[in-house]
Amino acid sequence: MAGHGRRLTRPSVWSTDFRAALRDLAGQPVFGMLVAADNKRSDEREERLTQATASIPSAILWFLLATLTITVIGLGICLPRRNNRGQVVTLVVITALLTTTLCIIRDVDRPFGGIIQVEPTAISEAERQATRDFTANHPAAELPCDDRGNRRTV
């Protein structure tokens, strides 16, 4: 998954290669365990993609923002011309609160981007552990992909 909830094709490519390698192990005792782990990894990836996808369409957020703008302008026009300090302060506070609410809704709906940004700590930890295990078991070998996930040529 790339930033801002976009899907990348690279994980699907290496996942397909991984499944092809698993076919060679068919019939061996460890095969069922590897297939179950691969299915779990695939399910968790789909869950992460679902969580990263915004559930509130941008059109609805723009509609709510336009409605807020029209409401604030309408209320501002209806304020008395004199001795209106209390009404103006109230209108400014309500406008700030409603605008902040819309911003919070947008940020919570898109957890991997925006002001409130959730870091992908679980996948980063899994990557770190996989790299550590690979380098420990194959000290002379190089990782099969670079830092961006691109497959290295053999």
pLDDT in tens, the chain (154 residues): 445 555 555 555 666 666 666 666 666 666 677 777 777 877 887 887 777 777 788 888 899 999 999 999 998 898 888 888 999 999 999 999 999 998 888 888 877 676 766 676 777 777 788 788 878 887 887 777 777 777 777 6
- 42 with 88, same domain: the answer is no
- 50 with 62, same domain: the answer is no
Range of the domain at 4: 1-54
How far is it, in rounded angstroms, from Cα 150 to Cα 144?
A: 9
The tally of domains found in the chain comes to 2
pTM of the full predicted structure? 0.49
Residue at 150 is within a domain: no
Looking at residue 1, its pLDDT comes to: 46
- 63 with 104, same domain: the answer is yes
Residue after which a domain boundary falls, among 54, 69, 87: 54
Residue at 148 is within a domain: no
How far is it, in rounded angstroms, from Cα 9 to Cα 45?
A: 12
Distances (CA, A) of 21 to 14, 15, 17, 42, 130: 10, 10, 6, 16, 17
- 66 with 78, same domain: the answer is yes
Residue at 77 is within a domain: yes
Q: Return the bridge partners of 151, or none.
A: 145
